[in-house]
Every structure is written in C-alpha cells, then in structure tokens.
Structure 1
Amino acid sequence: MSTPAGTGTPAGPVSRRAGELTPRELLRWGWRQLTSMRTALILLLLLALAAVPGSVIPQQGVDALAASRWREDHPRLTPVYDWLDLFDVYSSVWFAAIYVLLMVSLVGCIIPRTIVYARNIRAVPPAAPRNLTRLPDHASYESDEGIEEVLEQARAELRRRRYRLRPAETTGPGAGAIAAERGYLREVGNLVFHLSIIVVLVGFATGSLLGYKGGVIVLVGNGFANNLTQYDDFVPGTAFSASEMEPFSFTVEDFEVEWLTEGRAQGQARNFVASLRYREEPGAEEQTYDLRVNHPLEIGDSEVFLVGHGYAPVITVRDARGEVVASGPRVFLPQDQTFLSFGVIKAPAAEPDGLGLEGLFYPTFVNIGGDPVNVMGDTLNPAISMLVYAGDLGLDGGESQSVYILEKDDAEQVTKPDGSPVRVDLQVGATEKLPDGLGSVTFEGVQPWVRVQVSQSPGKVVALVGVVAALIGLLGSLFIRPRRVWVRARREDGRTVVDLAALDRSGGGDVALVLADIVEALRPAAQKELSR
C-alpha cells in the first residue's frame, strides 16, 4: 500500500457520507423528479390554480376599464397586485415558469414511455408457464392425436383469431407448448396518445410563437384595415413578424340583432349578423360576407371573429364660446346583459376649462319609482346620464390615455349651488346647458358598433390533429383488451393431455368465455359428441 509523500495516511478512494450525491448524481435525481408523472400532475394542478387570478381579477389586456376601476377601488392592494403581475397573469414570469416546467416535465415523462410502448408493440408473447393449471382461468382435455398435430391445430385456430404466436418451442421429451397474445393495438393506442400530447404541445407552441391575436371595435358604417395601428389591443407571438399579416380590409355595412320580446328570455338577444364588404388585398375584387358568432371570415391564414357588440351615443359638446369641442359617436362599453353601458367624453380644448363627462347609456330607459332602470338591450328609449368635470384632463402632457377612462386627478366635478353634482340626463334630440356658462351637451342619436377579433394561429391544424389522434389513441388504450393464451401438450398413458390457460392483461376482463370457446374449437369431434 502506497502513502502520499510526507504523510502516514494510506492513499485510497475518498469516502462519502450516506446519502451524499455528486453534482452529476444530483442533476440526474432532479431530472427524474421533474419528469415523474407525480410532478407533472402537481404542475398541472399549479397551472390551474395560477389561472384562477386571471379569471377573478380584471386583466389589463382584456378589460383595461375594469382593471382601472379595480385599482381605484382598492388603492392599498394595487401595489401588491402590480408587483405580483396579477393584472396580467398570463404574461407574468411566474405563470410562464410553471407552464415551461410543465412542458419539460411532460416531454421528459412521455418520451421514455413512448420508447417502452414502441418496444412492446414488437415484443413476442412470453413463454408458457410451467404449470398452466395454477392460473385462474384454465382448462384441460385429452386427445388421441399426437403432440405436433394438437399444437398445429392450436396454432391455426389462434392465428384465425388474430393472435400473435411465439416461435415454436419444445419443453422436453414428449411435450410441447405454444404462446399467443392479441391486443397489441392497445400498445399502439398508448403510443399514439403519448405522441399526440407532444404534437399538441408543438401546435400550441407554434401558435404562441408565430401567431397573433388582436381586437378592435368598429362602428357600423366604418371600416378596418389589417395593420397594427388599427387595433385597440394586439397580442403578438414571440417570433411574430408584422410582414406576415394579410393586407385585407373590410367595412361593416350593417349589424342586425334579433331581440326576444316575450317568454322567459324576454329582453335577450340572439342571431347576431354583421354584414361585411371586404377585400383580401388592395385592388382586389370586393366581396361580401355575413359575419356571425362562431362563423368566422377566413382570409388566408387569418380569421375574423364576431365577439361582441354595443352602442356609441352621438354626443355634441359646446364650450362657453359656443364652439363645438367634441362631436360624434363615443363608444360606451356594456356593463351587463341589458347593455347598460359606461363611457366617457373628453373635450380638453374647451374654454375656459377642459370638459369631461362620465356616465351611463340606457338603451331602453324606464323610470321606476324615481330610479333610472334599463329594461333591455334594444334601443327602444335611449337615454344618457352623465356627470360633468371641468379642469385639466391630463392630456396636455402627451402621455397616452385610455379612451374609456376619465382622468379626474386635476379636474373638479361641476356642482349645483347647493353642492349636489350636476348630472346631464338627456334623451335623443335633447340639449342641456351646463351651469356657470360652461357650455352645453346635446344627445344627437345612437350608432351601433361591433367588436371583432382577428387572429392567426399557424399551429392550430397541428394541435387539432394531435387532439383527434390523442382521443383515438385513448379510446384504443381503454377499450382494447390485451389477452394471452397458452397451450401445453404432453403424452401420458398413450394419450395427449392438453392444458390451456388465458390471462387478461388489462384486468377485469372475463376470459373464461374466451377460453371455453377456444377449447370447444380444439377438442376432437368424438369428444364433443360424448360431452353432449
């Protein structure tokens, strides 16, 4: 035994404490934990829980107005929610981390199982057990024929029943056995199902990388061109390029809604139809299309969906000089199923102070006991009710503002001499003068609008194929029963004793009937007559 120079300690391998892992072993252990089915299920549960805030808390990219109101109503919680990205859950770092870990876990979990299933598809049936009578489902009979004749008959019968046979084998002098198995399509179903999950993930990833989704509100009678500046909100994929957008354009010619006027669903809407005139590219022939819910207009790789509708009251605001400082339709956003809508009007150029109005639009206004009530979404008796603010509306600094939010930090609410707020309550055609000579407001009419969503999902066909294939594979793995059958023959006292056994690998299957049917087909005809 050698010793290091200058020491009396023998040289040898460095001992490790119990449970201590090298960096390589630690990485291998961590990978096994991440790619286990248990971890995948835990991550899937975490992803579902992480999506809950996105459905409870208003999301900035979906409803900026609701998110702004929530911030105003909860000033103490807002900084915490902003720090946690709870107003933009699906774009947050922590949500993306869970999603990426889940994808890695699924891929790492699926690929090894896919290899196992691929091997099982090509595997031959296992050899016959030594004592078939010990299996739960077994049977025996005797025959005057030789061992080879009996086994050949069994092979022919099992082949006819589409069993895969193990190569012939002899188990000793005067004895032989065959093994057969069917139901390999179950393994094919498992293989297809697991591969399809990867296909679905690839499809969704492709759509997330290369696709886009945008929404825009278009007034009836107005048009839209498919470029970035036209969208109200736009969510591009990570690798999205604006050059891939089709250069189509369309005009909303008309919008029709069928309102129910009787029955339990009175006041609700159905059969939404937006009549479009569109061109697939500049200079192309103009075409028409009736855009309906769940019936998108397909142009190239893009789809145009009808996702909502509402009203834009046409309001004219004059300042103290009598000059028109705001005019035209203003989009109001529905707040409930009756289409009671909220909106704002901004007139920063008004003199002597900028004017802002904030309030509600009632499509069918009814006064019940002194309280304003909206009965239904049809414009049978339209009216507006708005509060008035005067002062700086925050537009002079050049910062962008939502058209649905009125900045009131530097503006004062206009009040009556008794201190109560001034409320402009108007029906179509009416004008109301503001106090202190601030100007007037006129309700000119109502113009409908539709909200459309334009999306491009290059991986949707791949994902759809993956989902369909996964369903087919899942059905195969659930309903196809793999069964094994063994036949062993031996000579005793001048006769051939045949033992048979069957096993259902999926469990719960009744193989007794299958075994009895095989025995009935193999027994000699003379013995069948005697049994009768």
Structure 2
Amino acid sequence: MGIRNNPVWSFFSSLRLTLVLLAVLAVLAVVGTLVPQQESAQELAKRLSPGTIRILGTLQVFDLYHSVWFLLAMGLLTANLIICSINRFPASWRRFKAEAPADEHLFRDLPPERTVYVKGTRDEVVTRAEQALRRRYRDVRRTDASRGPVLQGQKGRITHLGVYAVHLGVLLIVAGGVAGSLFGFDAYVHIGEGETATTADLMGGKGQHNLGFGIRCDRFLIETYENGMPKTYQSDLTFLKNGRPALQGALLVNHPLTFEGIRFYQSSYGQSADGKARLSYSRKGGDRKDEAVTLGESFILPNGEGTVQVLRVEENMMQMGPAVKLGVRSGRGAVQFWVFQEIERIREGNPGLFEQVPLFNPGLFAPYVFSLRGIDARYYTVLKAATDPGVPLVAAGGLFLMAGLLLVFIVDHRRVWVLVEEAKGKVRVAVTGRGLRTSAGLDRELSDLVRVFREKGDAQG
C-alpha cells in the first residue's frame, strides 16, 4: 500500500481537515478576544464563582494563546499544509513545466482581426515576429508545422506555484506564533530612582525572568498639568552589561528602547514608601514647627499631647493636588483627617468645605492646625519588557503570504502562438492565445501583436 493510500496520510491531506482547523482557530481567536487574557482576566475572575474559575483555568481559557488547544490546532494545521503541499506539488510542477503543443487546430476559425497579410519573405516575417514576442515574453520557442513556422511565447507560469508561497507564508506565521509562545515573554520591571534591576516579574504570576544584564534608573522625570494629572513622564535608563554601561537612553510612553533583543516600554510609575512629606503644625498662639516624615512614620506633639502618624501619601488626591492623611492618637481618642498642600485654593473654590467634609479640615485636632508644604517624592518606574523571537518569522510569513496571493489571483499564465505561413503568394500571420483565466488582458495583448505588424507598414491590402 502506497503512502498516499495510507489512512493517516489521507486524513492529514484532507481539505475538509483544513477547513475544520481554520474554523477551530477562528473560534479560539474569538474567545481569546472576548475573554480577558492573563493579568487582564483578574477583574473578570472576581465576578465568577470559584468553581467556574477552576473549570476555565483548567481549560486554559484565560491564557488561550499559550494553551494546549491552541498549540495543538496550530500543529495539526502545520501538518495538514505540509502534507497537502507534498500531495499536490507533482501535478503543479508538471503544469509549471508543461509545453503546450503548437497544433494547427489552434488557428482554425480565427476572427478576421487576428490575421494580417504582411510584406517580405516568410523568414523575414518570422524574424520580426520573434523579436516582437521576445519584447513581451521571456520564454519564446519555434516549432515547424506543416503550414509554416509557429512561434510560441508564454509568461506567468509561476502562478502555478503561488499556492505554495501561500502555504509557506502560513507555515512561517504559525512557526513564529509558536516560537513567540514558547520562547518569548512579557514581564514588568520595577526600578526605583538610582537603583538597578536584573530580573523581571513575568506576567500571570509565572515567576521571575533573569534578564542577564542590569537596568539602572538614573532619573525619573514627570510633568503635570495644573490639576496635578500627569502630562508626560520618562525614565532615564542605563543598561549595564558585566557591570559596565552598554546603552543609555530616555524611555518615554510610545518610545520604547531595545537592548539584547528585549524591547522595553514605559508602562507606569509610582511613589516609593520612603518619600518624605514635609509637614508644618502650630498651636494657636504658638510657634510653627516642621517635620519631615515618611509613610507610616510617627512624631510626638509637644508636651506629649498626641502622636501623629502618616497613614497615606497621595500625589494628586481627588484631582485636588498633593495630600497626606494623618492619624492622631491622644488621651481624647483617635482622629484622622487629610491635609492638602493647596488647601486655601480648595477652600476658595468650595466655601463651607470643612463643615461639609470635616475629614478635609487640617485643624480637626484642635488646637493644632497642620499644613503640607510639599512631598519629597521618590519615584519608581515600571517598565514592560517583551521579547518575541517569532516576529521575524511572522514578518517573512506575511511577505510570502502576500506574494503568493498576488501570484495566485493576479498573475495569469498566458500562452501566445503566432503562425507565419505563405498563402496565395503572400505571407499571412495568425495570432492566437490562451490564458489560465478568462481575461480581457489577453485579448489586448493579441490585438497589440497584430497592431505591431500594421503600424510598421508591413500590412498588405
């Protein structure tokens, strides 16, 4: 039993299998688009029951493009395309190499516009006809028939192999997708100003990835609007190889940097817990005192009247600017309130604010009044690191796919025959042709060939 009669071979060479696999991949792609993937699925998971999460997790729905189902479908499609190509290649190659015989029946019942009588000897006309064909076709041959020489020209035979360029393009795209899934990664790198990171946290809580080099955040810059919202921010980075600077650059949103094949994007930023809030407070009729405290740090008021602790530090609290939340413990109990840096401006825009929202009153712990002079923030930057070794394969696959589609649907395999014969003491030229697809372009080419003889003054009445 030949290999082509093998049931397994027949299964993988089936066009029906191709259609089923494409449908399966389409369904998986739709599910992967509608269902949040990896870290984005956390919000959806909060709304689902534990049993549902367990089932969906087992089916790898939240990481579909790395799932066994997706890789299996891609593998089956790869095998299907390869075996289909092997099965059909011999027939396509025969069509590519085939030479159509110059049968005289090709010139029977030609319309009058496809024939013309010309001056000169038959050999001279054959030479001119061959020159005209060679200007339009790369493959020109001569055959001597009983009625006279027949010249054949053809072009576009490469269209018979276009489908294999499409198959190769799909295979390269599949290979690129699998390579990116297996060997690529997406991760985040958190770096404080002046610090160096050598590892990245893989998305989905899959552990850490050793970068093999260091990234130092030399400086983090942020520019804000008047309302405190960030306008632009950037990280000035130095990439260290073996402890020595190898690359320096500014990383901005939508302006990534690439080092050692890994692409880094500016993702977000935050404030480190060791940033200091510069506070001032005074007792009615007393002198002002200053304190610089970090998040969670405490200080004692004069005469032990209370202990003040910084509970929260916000760079832009409710779009009203920098603020800190203080907690004061004393013999009178405990009280918490916010202290805004721009409290006077806020009060002007919101008369009666302290009565409406006592929590915003910096004098809530009477007789002390607190003020925020500023926050000496120490920022950290968050970089997204991504590498996909399959990108070159996908790009090459896309080029092959486009080229193959152009060959299949645009390029036409056309053959043209020119018969030069002596008839009634004259030299008669007959032109005919065939194309792989019915095309007005072939008719124009045949008319153009006939017109060549007429325009050169060769035609006889």
- TM-score w.r.t. the length of structure 2 is 0.67
Cα deviations across residues 165-211 of structure 1 (Å, max 9, x unaligned)? Answer: 24x32332x434222112245456555444333334334444444x2
Supply the distance in 1 between the matched residues of 2:410 and 2:325 (Cα, whole angstroms): 62
1:278 aligns with one of 229, 239, 245 = 239
1:26 alignment counterpart: 7
1:169 aligns with one of 133, 140, 143 = 143
1:520 alignment counterpart: 451
1:248 aligns with one of 201, 209, 213 = 213
What runs of 5+ residues in structure 1 fail to find an aligned partner?
Answer: 1-21, 237-241, 317-326, 330-359, 367-374, 386-422, 433-443
1:4 alignment counterpart: none
1:489 aligns with one of 420, 423, 426 = 420
Supply the distance in 1 between the matched residues of 2:213 and 2:266 (Cα, whole angstroms): 19
Supply the distance in 2 between the matched residues of 1:163 and 1:23 (Cα, whole angstroms): 37
Mapping of 1:124-135 within 5 angstroms? 124-125=99-100, 127-128=102-103, 130-133=105-108
Distance apart, 1:97 and its partner CA: 2.3
Retained in 1: the 8 A contact 2:106–2:432?
Answer: no
Distance apart, 1:108 and its partner CA: 3.0
Distance apart, 1:78 and its partner CA: 3.0
Cα 1:315–1:270 shift into 2, 3 Å: closer
Retained in 1: the 8 A contact 2:45–2:53?
Answer: no
Cα 1:139–1:232 shift into 2, 3 Å: closer
Cα 1:149–1:273 shift into 2, 3 Å: same
Cα 1:65–1:256 shift into 2, 3 Å: farther
Cα deviations across residues 222-248 of structure 1 (Å, max 9, x unaligned)? Answer: 645334xx5253799xxxxx8xx6521
Distance apart, 1:158 and its partner CA: 0.5
Retained in 1: the 8 A contact 2:267–2:384?
Answer: no
1:56 aligns with one of 34, 53, 56 = 34
Retained in 2: the 8 A contact 1:212–1:234?
Answer: no
2:264 alignment counterpart: 305
Mapping of 1:27-106 within 5 angstroms? 27-33=8-14, 36=15, 39-59=17-37, 61-63=38-40, 65-66=42-43, 68-71=45-48, 74-75=49-50, 77-106=52-81
Supply the distance in 2 between the matched residues of 1:524 and 1:191 (Cα, whole angstroms): 42
Cα 1:84–1:431 shift into 2, 3 Å: farther
Retained in 1: the 8 A contact 2:193–2:217?
Answer: yes
Q: 2:212 aligns to what SS in structure 1?
A: coil
Supply the distance in 2 between the matched residues of 1:222 and 1:46 (Cα, whole angstroms): 50
Instruction: Kindly indicate which of the two structures has a greater share of residues assigned to helix.
Output: 2
Cα deviations across residues 447-482 of structure 1 (Å, max 9, x unaligned)? Answer: 654432333433433433333344345445554443
Retained in 2: the 8 A contact 1:147–1:489?
Answer: yes
1:199 aligns with 2:177: no
What runs of 5+ residues in structure 2 fail to find an aligned partner?
Answer: 276-293, 297-311, 327-334, 342-359, 363-374
Retained in 2: the 8 A contact 1:213–1:234?
Answer: no
1:154 alignment counterpart: 129
Q: 2:440 aligns to what SS in structure 1?
A: coil
Cα 1:294–1:118 shift into 2, 3 Å: farther
Distance apart, 1:140 and its partner CA: 0.8
Retained in 1: the 8 A contact 2:173–2:393?
Answer: yes
Supply the distance in 2 between the matched residues of 1:235 and 1:464 (Cα, whole angstroms): 30
Retained in 1: the 8 A contact 2:313–2:325?
Answer: yes
Supply the distance in 1 between the matched residues of 2:361 and 2:216 (Cα, whole angstroms): 32
1:139 alignment counterpart: 114
2:321 aligns with one of 380, 383, 386 = 380
Retained in 2: the 8 A contact 1:248–1:280?
Answer: yes
Supply the distance in 2 between the matched residues of 1:488 and 1:474 (Cα, whole angstroms): 35
Whichever residue aligns with residue 174 of structure 2, its letter is L
Mapping of 1:343-422 within 5 angstroms? 364-366=316-318, 380-381=321-322
Cα 1:128–1:222 shift into 2, 3 Å: farther
Q: 2:114 aligns to what SS in structure 1?
A: strand
2:353 alignment counterpart: none
Supply the distance in 2 between the matched residues of 1:136 and 1:268 (Cα, whole angstroms): 79
Retained in 2: the 8 A contact 1:40–1:102?
Answer: yes
Identity %: 20
1:216 alignment counterpart: 188
Cα 1:125–1:510 shift into 2, 3 Å: same
Distance apart, 1:152 and its partner CA: 3.5
Distance apart, 1:218 and its partner CA: 1.3
Cα deviations across residues 13-63 of structure 1 (Å, max 9, x unaligned)? Answer: xxxxxxxxx996533432232xx2x5434423321321333333343x324
Supply the distance in 1 between the matched residues of 2:378 and 2:155 (Cα, whole angstroms): 68
Mapping of 1:416-495 within 5 angstroms? 426=338, 448-475=379-406, 477-495=408-426
RMSD: 4.5
Mapping of 1:286-301 within 5 angstroms? 287-300=247-260
Supply the distance in 2 between the matched residues of 1:502 and 1:101 (Cα, whole angstroms): 42
2:201 alignment counterpart: 231
Supply the distance in 2 between the matched residues of 1:361 and 1:111 (Cα, whole angstroms): 67
Cα 1:78–1:293 shift into 2, 3 Å: same
Cα 1:131–1:482 shift into 2, 3 Å: closer
Supply the distance in 1 between the matched residues of 2:115 and 2:176 (Cα, whole angstroms): 55
Retained in 2: the 8 A contact 1:138–1:515?
Answer: no
Supply the distance in 1 between the matched residues of 2:151 and 2:56 (Cα, whole angstroms): 69
1:181 aligns with 2:140: no
Q: 1:501 aligns to what SS in structure 2?
A: strand
Cα 1:52–1:123 shift into 2, 3 Å: same
Q: 1:108 aligns to what SS in structure 2?
A: helix
Cα 1:135–1:93 shift into 2, 3 Å: farther
Supply the distance in 2 between the matched residues of 1:137 and 1:208 (Cα, whole angstroms): 64
Q: 1:511 aligns to what SS in structure 2?
A: helix
Distance apart, 1:382 and its partner CA: 5.5
Retained in 2: the 8 A contact 1:217–1:232?
Answer: no
Retained in 1: the 8 A contact 2:192–2:380?
Answer: yes
Retained in 1: the 8 A contact 2:338–2:361?
Answer: yes
- TM-score w.r.t. the length of structure 1 is 0.59
Distance apart, 1:506 and its partner CA: 3.9
Supply the distance in 2 between the matched residues of 1:361 and 1:486 (Cα, whole angstroms): 86
Larger RCO, structure (CA 8 Å, separation 6 or more): 2
Retained in 2: the 8 A contact 1:213–1:453?
Answer: no
Whichever residue aligns with residue 47 of structure 2, its letter is W
Retained in 2: the 8 A contact 1:218–1:224?
Answer: no
1:342 alignment counterpart: none
